[in-house]
Amino acid sequence: MFDLIIKNGFVVDGTGNPWIRADIGIRAGKIVKVGRIDKAEGDRVIDASGLIVCPGFIDIHDHSEFHILANPQAESKVRQGVTTQLNGNCGSSAA
Protein backbone atom coordinates (compact mmCIF):
# COMPACT_ATOMS: atom_id res chain seq x y z
CA MET A 1 0.00 0.00 0.00
CA PHE A 2 1.23 3.49 -0.88
CA ASP A 3 0.48 6.85 0.71
CA LEU A 4 0.54 8.42 -2.75
CA ILE A 5 0.62 7.14 -6.32
CA ILE A 6 1.49 9.40 -9.24
CA LYS A 7 -0.06 7.67 -12.27
CA ASN A 8 0.65 7.77 -16.00
CA GLY A 9 3.40 10.39 -15.98
CA PHE A 10 6.35 10.74 -18.33
CA VAL A 11 9.08 9.90 -15.81
CA VAL A 12 12.48 11.54 -16.36
CA ASP A 13 14.89 10.17 -13.77
CA GLY A 14 17.82 12.55 -14.32
CA THR A 15 20.26 9.85 -15.47
CA GLY A 16 20.18 10.88 -19.13
CA ASN A 17 18.13 7.84 -20.10
CA PRO A 18 14.98 8.41 -22.19
CA TRP A 19 11.76 9.10 -20.31
CA ILE A 20 9.38 6.25 -19.56
CA ARG A 21 5.64 6.27 -18.98
CA ALA A 22 5.24 4.93 -15.45
CA ASP A 23 3.55 5.20 -12.09
CA ILE A 24 5.41 6.21 -8.93
CA GLY A 25 4.55 4.77 -5.52
CA ILE A 26 5.43 6.85 -2.47
CA ARG A 27 5.38 5.64 1.13
CA ALA A 28 6.46 7.69 4.16
CA GLY A 29 7.77 10.45 1.89
CA LYS A 30 10.05 8.16 -0.15
CA ILE A 31 9.74 6.77 -3.66
CA VAL A 32 9.54 3.00 -3.19
CA LYS A 33 8.35 1.83 -6.62
CA VAL A 34 8.47 3.01 -10.23
CA GLY A 35 6.49 0.94 -12.72
CA ARG A 36 2.91 -0.13 -13.14
CA ILE A 37 0.87 0.28 -9.97
CA ASP A 38 -2.85 -0.36 -9.51
CA LYS A 39 -4.59 2.79 -8.24
CA ALA A 40 -6.37 0.68 -5.61
CA GLU A 41 -2.98 0.34 -3.88
CA GLY A 42 -2.84 4.05 -2.99
CA ASP A 43 -4.47 6.17 -0.31
CA ARG A 44 -4.23 9.13 -2.71
CA VAL A 45 -3.76 9.12 -6.48
CA ILE A 46 -2.60 11.95 -8.74
CA ASP A 47 -3.23 11.55 -12.48
CA ALA A 48 -0.14 12.88 -14.25
CA SER A 49 -1.30 11.95 -17.76
CA GLY A 50 0.47 14.17 -20.28
CA LEU A 51 2.76 15.61 -17.59
CA ILE A 52 6.47 15.18 -16.93
CA VAL A 53 7.48 13.85 -13.51
CA CYS A 54 11.12 14.45 -12.58
CA PRO A 55 13.44 15.20 -9.67
CA GLY A 56 13.90 18.82 -8.64
CA PHE A 57 16.34 20.77 -10.81
CA ILE A 58 19.58 22.28 -9.48
CA ASP A 59 20.31 25.81 -10.69
CA ILE A 60 24.11 26.15 -10.62
CA HIS A 61 24.29 29.63 -12.19
CA ASP A 62 21.97 31.89 -10.35
CA HIS A 63 21.76 35.57 -9.47
CA SER A 64 19.19 35.33 -6.67
CA GLU A 65 21.59 35.92 -3.78
CA PHE A 66 19.67 38.87 -2.34
CA HIS A 67 16.25 38.02 -3.74
CA ILE A 68 16.19 34.81 -1.68
CA LEU A 69 16.60 36.88 1.50
CA ALA A 70 13.50 38.92 0.64
CA ASN A 71 11.50 35.89 -0.54
CA PRO A 72 12.83 32.76 1.21
CA GLN A 73 9.97 30.59 -0.12
CA ALA A 74 11.30 31.17 -3.67
CA GLU A 75 7.96 30.35 -5.28
CA SER A 76 9.16 31.46 -8.71
CA LYS A 77 11.98 28.91 -8.57
CA VAL A 78 9.78 26.08 -7.32
CA ARG A 79 7.21 26.74 -10.06
CA GLN A 80 10.01 26.15 -12.57
CA GLY A 81 11.05 22.89 -10.91
CA VAL A 82 14.15 24.29 -9.19
CA THR A 83 14.55 22.87 -5.69
CA THR A 84 18.25 23.68 -5.11
CA GLN A 85 20.29 26.69 -6.15
CA LEU A 86 23.95 27.61 -5.87
CA ASN A 87 24.65 31.19 -4.85
CA GLY A 88 27.84 33.23 -4.86
CA ASN A 89 29.43 31.58 -7.88
CA CYS A 90 30.02 34.94 -9.64
CA GLY A 91 32.01 36.44 -6.79
CA SER A 92 29.22 38.04 -4.77
CA SER A 93 27.26 36.60 -1.92
CA ALA A 94 25.06 37.72 0.93
CA ALA A 95 27.19 35.71 3.37
pLDDT of 48-72, one tens digit each? 999 999 999 999 888 887 788 888 8
In this structure, the answer to whether residues 62 and 36 fall within a common structural domain is no
Task: Supply the mean pLDDT for the chain.
Answer: 91
Question: Which of residues 13 and 9 earns the better pLDDT score?
Answer: 9
In this structure, the answer to whether residues 48 and 23 fall within a common structural domain is yes
The residue from 53, 68, 84 where one domain ends is 53
- Torsion on CA atoms 62, 58, 27, 6, rounded to nearest 10: 90
- pLDDT of residue 95 exceeding 70, the answer is no
Residue 58: the pLDDT is 92
CA distance 38 to 59: 35
How many domains, the chain? 2
Q: Which domain holds residue 15?
A: 2-53
In this structure, the answer to whether residues 14 and 39 fall within a common structural domain is yes
pTM of model > 0.85:
no
Residue 36, classified by CB atoms within 10 Å of its CB into exposed (0-12), middle (13-18) or buried (19+), is exposed
